Structure 1
């Protein structure tokens, strides 16, 4: 995965168990770290609209049509990753909180204060 690109593409797959995982073929850690939990799974269910796969364009820089995930709590020194808030999605206010684990620092090489996605 090229981390110097402004935008990256991430794919998430829902397994028959109902659990969501980010697809990172180059990941050398355990699969459990790739599971989307604590609100991220709920958001993927909303985005998927019944499908078993979601592909997102993500960036630290705003781009046309992007939604914003705002870091509300840096958990790097405890459980890793951070708590993010999605204030609105597709024009509707939802104020959805989610934990995004230390895989964020693998993808972005840091814990971004804002992640833009579409």
Structure 2
């Protein structure tokens, strides 16, 4: 059975996206979605200021995959992920996901599967 969890992403009036992690002990700035992740959320959110995504390390029905293409563990942390396609459209959208990804998954997964809730 695939373990999947739902996470909320909120776009504030400033135009900046943040993941909503009530248990996060760090600073809010760590939760900002930047370097392409914000563009992906704009696309997936289809104009909405709030997006809920189901995230898992294993494929599940209707999911789309993000693939880790570069790991930055030795300097800035996190990694570059690639969203090849979404909703039948080729995107080739690269995005940096910071070490908050490790908080969510316990590691930096090679593949992250997601689906809009």
TM over 0.5: yes
- Per the normalisation by structure 2, the TM-score is 0.95
| Partner in structure 2 of residue 26 of structure 1 | 23
Q: Which runs of 4+ in 1 moved over 2 A?
A: none
Alignment coverage as a number of residue pairs: 114
CA distance in 1, matches of 2:24, 2:35: 21
Residues 1:101 and 2:74 are matched in the alignment: no
| Partner in structure 2 of residue 44 of structure 1 | 41
Deviation at 1:65, TM superposition (A): 0.6
Residues 1:77 and 2:64 are matched in the alignment: no
- Per the normalisation by structure 1, the TM-score is 0.94
Give per-residue Cα distances to partners, 1:2-39, cap 9 Å, x unaligned.
xxx70011100000000000000000000000000000
CA distance in 1, matches of 2:47, 2:21: 22
CA distance in 2, matches of 1:95, 1:29: 31
| Partner in structure 2 of residue 86 of structure 1 | 83
Alignment RMSD: 0.8
Deviation at 1:76, TM superposition (A): 1.3
Correspondence for 1:12 among 9, 13, 29: 9
CA distance in 1, matches of 2:31, 2:102: 12
Structure 1 stretches of 5 or more lacking a match? none
